């Protein structure tokens, strides 16, 4: 009888760890997807020469893709060169642990 209880306890712990690992992997994949999207936005801004139309379409697409917010601040350097600070805000969620945080990815398009 003792070994049956130990076996069931072990199976429950292994199942919980498998479910928790899966949730963590899904959250990590979501973060990687956000990083790839951020890189795509930077490349699109650079190729569009920081056009207001491109900036607005990137913001609309970020909302359609489920990201919380995309902030693009166009700036000008001392040498009168354009660049932009691109901030992508997304949610990092692990539902099993009731963990819901907002993360940011910040980069620059030149």
- Please state the domain extents for the chain: 2-109
So what's the pLDDT on residue 99? 87
Are the C-beta atoms of residues 17 and 89 closer than 8 Å to each other?
no
Residue 36: what pLDDT? 96
Instruction: Kindly write down the DSSP assignment for every residue of 19-82, as one continuous string.
Output: HHHHHHHHHHHHHHHHHHHHHHHHHHHHHTTT-HHHHHHHHHHHHHTT-SEEEEEEEE-TTS-E
What tokens appear for 51 in the block? Answer: 């056009």
Closest alpha carbon to 55 in 90, 86, 91: 86
Please state the pTM of the whole predicted model: 0.84
Per-residue pLDDT of the chain (110 residues; tens, 9 = 90+): 788 889 999 999 999 999 999 999 999 999 999 999 999 999 999 999 899 999 999 999 999 999 999 999 999 888 888 999 999 999 998 888 888 999 999 999 99
Q: Are 45 and 62 in contact (CB under 8 A)?
A: no
Q: Which two tokens stand for residue 18?
A: 């498998």
């Amino acid at each position: 009888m003792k070994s049956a209880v130990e076996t069931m306890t072990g199976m429950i712990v292994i199942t919980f760890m498998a479910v928790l690992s899966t949730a963590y992997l899904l959250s990590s994949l979501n973060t990687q997807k956000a990083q790839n999207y951020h890189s795509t936005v930077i490349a699109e801004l650079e190729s569009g020469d920081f056009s207001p139309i491109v900036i607005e379409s990137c913001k609309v697409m970020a909302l359609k893709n489920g990201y919380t917010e995309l902030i693009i601040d166009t700036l000008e350097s001392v040498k009168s060169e354009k660049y932009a600070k691109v901030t992508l805000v997304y949610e990092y969620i692990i539902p099993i642990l009731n963990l819901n945080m907002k993360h940011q990815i910040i980069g620059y398009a030149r």
